[in-house]
Structure 1
Amino acid sequence: MKWVDRSREQMHKSANSVGNLLVEGFHYLGLFAIGAVTAWASVMAFMAMLEKGQASIDDILLLFIYLELGAMVGIYFKTNHLPIRFLLYVAITALTRYLIGDVSHHRPPDIGLVYSCAGIFLLALSVVAVRFASYRFPSSKPIDSTGEVIGKNTGQ
């Protein structure tokens, strides 16, 4: 029955290879789509600024949001890890953009202003917590081309 075990192992390796190929293909397709849409949206926002003949602080912060999204796609493409800090930066920039837009349109200050500032503060604390945790408890493990952790079950 040794040939049955070898056949089962070969079938497992083949299925694993096909599964890895499909997952990586989906990742690349998704990354290229997200990257393309982000680039397209940023170009369209820039063209709208050119048509207006001016750029407001809202417009500039929107371009920063697109920049952070593009950086996230690039980092994920290179490392296959999604940096949570960049999502927090996007959220901080989005709340700041909302806050500045709200104040610049001469709306009277209300409790919403306090909520926006509190949200920005909490997100900034989250960035500090994530940075501290990643420094204190690093989780990156070397991974080979098949997606397996290098040194697993070898005591390394």
Structure 2
Amino acid sequence: MFNSASKYFDVVEKIILVILLFATITAIGQEILKVIDLGVVSLADILLLFIFLEVIGMIKEYYVTNRIAISHPIFIAITALARLIILQRKDFDPVILIYEAGAILILSLAILALRARKIDFFKPRSNKIN
């Protein structure tokens, strides 16, 4: 019983992943068409394409390994916040800009902490003498 339910959910997950992939590819196409229409590529457009690229990478990783590294959504959030800062008007409240920059800093520190876990320096040492 449990095995068949698990297979059902696996199939549903794969279908949703394919839908997400097609939606992301469609959004990429729409963004490229918008850039071609306007004839201008802005930094915000490039950052949006990077967000789409990270989403595709996350979909691929989940499809292959059935898990997502926590760093992928954090990178997406950092890129989205950077894009938000770039798109804001100049008459915007500077305090909000500080909050957004602080959020980027916190997310960057989270990535640094995740990467530091893999460094031998931070791993516990055994008391064995060779």
Question: What TM-score do the two structures reach when normalised by structure 2?
Answer: 0.85
In structure 2, give the amino acid aligned to 1:126: A
Question: What TM-score do the two structures reach when normalised by structure 1?
Answer: 0.71
Identity of aligned residues (%): 28
User: Which of residues 103, 106, 116 in structure 2 aligns to 1:119?
Assistant: 103
- Are 1:46 and 2:36 an aligned pair? no
User: Which of residues 82, 88, 93 in structure 1 aligns to 2:74?
Assistant: 88
Higher relative contact order (CA 8 A, sep 6+): 2
Query: In 2, Cα distance between the equivalents of 1:49 and 1:108?
Result: 26
- Are 1:130 and 2:114 an aligned pair? yes
Deviation at 1:108, TM superposition (A): 5.6
- Are 1:30 and 2:16 an aligned pair? yes
Partner residue of 1:16? 2
Partner residue of 2:123? none
Which ranges of structure 1 fall in alignment gaps of 5 or more residues?
1-14, 137-156
**Pairs aligned (count):** 119
Larger radius of gyration: 1
In structure 2, give the amino acid aligned to 1:44: Q
CA root-mean-square deviation: 1.5
Which ranges of structure 2 fall in alignment gaps of 5 or more residues?
120-130
Name the SS of the counterpart of 1:82 in structure 2: coil
